[in-house]
Amino acid sequence: MKHILVCGAGGFIGSHLVTRLKNVPAQDNYVVGVDIKQPEYINDADEFHILDLTNQHAVDDFFLRNAFDEVYQLAADMGGADYIFTGDNDLEIMTRSMQINLNVIDAVRAYNVPKIFYSSSACVYSEDKQLDKNNIDCRESAAYPANPDSEYGWEKLFSERLYQNLHKHTNTQVRIARFHNIFGPSSEYDSGREKAPAALCRKVALCPTGGSIDVYGSGEQVRSFMFISDCLDCVEDLMLSGYFAPVNIGSDFTISINDLAKKIIAISGKSITINNIDVPQTGVVARTSDNELFDRMVGTPRKVGLPDGLEKLYRWVANQVNGFTS
């Protein structure tokens, strides 16, 4: 039996990852989840513990009492544009996430954990290489010279280097993925930290036909979005591969935020207009996942396209907010 720890198991990707690890064919995995909050929608862990990963003594004591074959480190202080780009939360984002990663790395070293996965982010990429939607450079090598557009991205980039040195100087095998806008059901949709697809689904679900929804910025900013099950397929295959440098996990299909909203409106069947709001926290002009390296080194096929994924997400969000709609 393989004993696995998922840090950040109370979050969207972490809770889905626990379920996936519990259902790997021909494997008998015992999965332990930890977070500072209980999972809100999914909890398939064999054990779930409330654990503040910024507390070094608590983390060390937890690893002292539990032996693990693999650790998946997804815990971080993060959120959507409202949380990351205002500047109000920069100190908390950097210090809390850094404390988490230092504590996890120290424990993995001290207790000789054989393998760890670290979830980095597309936010590591330089702002100046994402200003033209016709010339986006998000190749893994394009992260340097470094110039992320947020403190969240700076912390992720530094933590990548911590994990790379863990791989280089210890016997722990490390895998690092730069996630690009993962979305799907059982994600935050009204907390103030939700990502664009869930936020737009909520707005559309709550909006009566004939009404309008607000979209931050011009709406012409471009992104790519990957459905959660495809993301987990890629993580599973990356862990089985021999590739240990940071690598993108995401979709290379780009769409503007306005067009994303229009697709969700079409799914709803309502007649809704878009009201673009001039706000500063819209992020870079254009970002997409460059998958050439991942496809060459790992090669996981993607199965769920954006339309199908949005349909699944909208139906789930609409069901969640249904009690609040007229």
**Run of H or E including 231:** helix 228-240
In three-state secondary structure terms, 61 is: helix
Residue 123: closest CA among 88, 87, 148 = 148
Is 152 known to be catalytic? yes
Least confident of 201-215, 268-282, 296-310: 268-282
In three-state secondary structure terms, 320 is: helix
pLDDT surpassing 90 at residue 2 = yes
Q: Enumerate residues 6+ apart whose C-beta is below 8 A from 44.
A: 15, 18, 19, 22, 31
* Most confident residue range from 72-76, 77-81, 130-134: 72-76
Contact indicator for 325, 251 with CB cutoff of 8 Å: no
Please state, rounded to an integer, the average pLDDT across all residues of the chain. 93
Average pLDDT over residues 9-38: 96
HEC profile of 255-279: EEHHHHHHHHHHHHCCCCEEEEECC
* Domains of the chain with bracketed CATH: 2-182+227-249 (3.40.50.720), 185-224+253-288+304-324 (3.90.25.10)
Per-residue pLDDT tens over the stretch 89-124: 788 888 999 999 999 999 999 999 999 999 999 999
Q: What pLDDT score was predicted for residue 193?
A: 78
What is the DSSP-derived secondary structure letter of residue 286?
B
Amino acid identity, position 23:
N
Give the pair of three-digit tokens for residue 155: 């912390």
Least confident of 73-82, 156-165, 248-257: 73-82
What is the DSSP-derived secondary structure letter of residue 149?
S
Which one is catalytic: 152, 189, 216, 314? 152
Give the pair of three-digit tokens for residue 311: 């349909």
Give the pair of three-digit tokens for residue 238: 């990356």
Give the model's confidence band at 5: pLDDT under 50 very low, under 70 low, under 90 confident, else very high: very high
